[in-house]
Each structure stands twice: as structure tokens, then as C-alpha cells.
Structure 1
Amino acid sequence: MTQAQREKLKQKLLALHAELTGKTPARIEPNRTDDARVGGDEDEQPLNEMMQAIASNRNRNMDGVLQRVLKALGKLRDDPDSYGECEECGDEIPLGRMEAMPYVEFCVNCQGQKDAPKGGPTRRKLTDYT
């Protein structure tokens, strides 16, 4: 990776950092209010619970991405030559993947292995039981 490519990705990381730190966490409203018990629509409770779950998940995901952005910025500062290398196998991560996610830590193959189900396939064929 060239110095110009690294600088372009650093600018993307800094913009992403500014965006993530500028956002306030999604507010998670209480499940029920006193107004809902008195005459509110009880059909709203499942929707409210779903919205709480979505907001909680979004906050958790934003925190995870922010940590990865900080890690990538640290790597660019401390060891710029290793930025863009897979942390698992050491191969260079393709530039297109780096441009899409400048905080990416693994190449496609290693990420696929990390995301694969543990313990092998869980489905069985009908003939396995006879």
C-alpha cells in the first residue's frame, strides 16, 4: 500500500471517528409508562420492546466500530507498514475492502473462518437416523 493510499484511508477513519463520537447513543424509552396502563394501547408494548432492542443493538454496534476505528488509527500512527495486513494470516487486505471498511482487521478468508459456525454443520440428513 502506498503512502497516498494510507493517507486517504486515514482521512476516512478520521471522518468516521468524528461521525461516531458526534452521535449520541440512541435513547431507550421505558417499556411502559403510567399513561399506557391507564388507557393506552397494549399493542404498543411489543413495538416498544422491539424499538428498545434495536436501539440497544445499534449502541453496541457503534461502540464496536468506534473501538476498531481507534485501533486502526493507532496502527497507522505506530506501525503504518502493517496497516492493511490481515491480523490472522499476514496477507495484504485488498484495497477495495480497505476503502469500504478502513478499520477492517482480517482478509475475507480469515473473516469467513471467524464467522463460520463452530463445531461444523448442525443439519443432518434423514438417512443419518436409520
Structure 2
Amino acid sequence: MNAKQREEFKALLLALHAELTEKAPSRIEPNRTDDARIGGDEDEQPLNEMMQAIASNRNRNMDGVLARVLKALGKLREDPDAFGECEECGDELPLGRLRAMPYAELCVTCQGAKDGPKGRATRSKLTDYT
């Protein structure tokens, strides 16, 4: 990777960092704040809990991406020649992958091995679930 490409990725990472730090954490306000009140909003409680769980997961994911962005910026600053290399196998990451995820640490092969198999298990026989 040449210096011009590293500058391109640095700009992408800085823009992503700015976007992530501008966003305030998501918070869903509960419909019911007074436990003594009884009414129709009790039916909405499961929905509120689900929305709060979704917001919490979104915030956690944003924190994870922000940490990876900061790590990538640090790598660009401290060891620019290592930026864009898979941390597992050392192969160069494809430019398309880095443009999509400039904070990527692993190549597709190593990321797939780390994540493990995806999807549902298939039944090989009809009697597998009886």
C-alpha cells in the first residue's frame, strides 16, 4: 500500500470517528415512569423493553466500531507499513474491503475462521428431530 492510499484510509477513518463521536448514545424513554399508575401502557412495557435492548445493542456495537477505528488510526500513526495487513496471516487486505471497512483487522478467510460457521443446521434425516 502506498502513502496516497494510506492517506485515503486515514481520511475515511477520521470521518468515521467524527460520525461515531457526534452521535449521542440511543436511549428509549419509557412510556410509564410512575409505578403507581395503572392503565393501558402496561401492554406497552414489553415493547419498551425490546426497544431499550435494541438501543443498548446498537450503542455497544457503535462502541466496538469506535474502538476498532481508534486502533486503526493508531496503527496508521505508529506502524503505517503494517496498516492493511491481516493481523492473523499477514496477507494484504483487499482495497475494496478496506474501503468498506477501513478498520478491518482480518482478511475474509481469517475473519470467517474466527466467526465460525453461520446459518441453521440442516437435517440429514427425517428422524433427526424425533
For 1:74 and 1:36, how far apart are their aligned partners in 2?
52
Partner amino acid for 1:11?
A: A
Partner amino acid for 1:62?
A: M
Partner amino acid for 1:88?
A: E
For 2:121 and 2:34, how far apart are their aligned partners in 1?
46
For 1:36 and 1:57, how far apart are their aligned partners in 2?
30
**What is the number of residues matched between the two proteins?**
127
Alpha-carbon contact 1:28-1:56 (below 8 Å) kept: no
Partner amino acid for 2:97?
A: R
Aligned-residue Cα RMSD (Å) equals 2.4
For 1:31 and 1:55, how far apart are their aligned partners in 2?
15
Aligned-pair CA distance for 1:47: 1.2
Q: TM-score when scaled to structure 1?
A: 0.86
Q: TM-score when scaled to structure 2?
A: 0.86
Aligned to 2:62: 62
For 2:39 and 2:72, how far apart are their aligned partners in 1?
52
Query: Is 1:7 matched up with 2:7?
Result: yes
- Gaps spanning 5+ residues in structure 2: where? none
Question: Mapping of 1:13-32 within 5 angstroms?
Answer: 13-30=13-30, 32=32
Aligned-pair CA distance for 1:125: 3.2
For 2:3 and 2:64, how far apart are their aligned partners in 1?
27
For 1:51 and 1:35, how far apart are their aligned partners in 2?
19
Question: Mapping of 1:105-116 within 5 angstroms?
Answer: 105-116=105-116
- Gaps spanning 5+ residues in structure 1: where? none
Query: Is 1:44 matched up with 2:41?
Result: no
Aligned-pair CA distance for 1:65: 0.3
Aligned to 1:125: 124
Alpha carbons of structure 1 residues 124 and 54: separation in structure 2 relative to 1, 3 Å: same
Aligned to 1:92: 92
Counterpart secondary structure, 1:60 = helix
Alpha carbons of structure 1 residues 36 and 61: separation in structure 2 relative to 1, 3 Å: farther
Partner amino acid for 2:17?
A: H
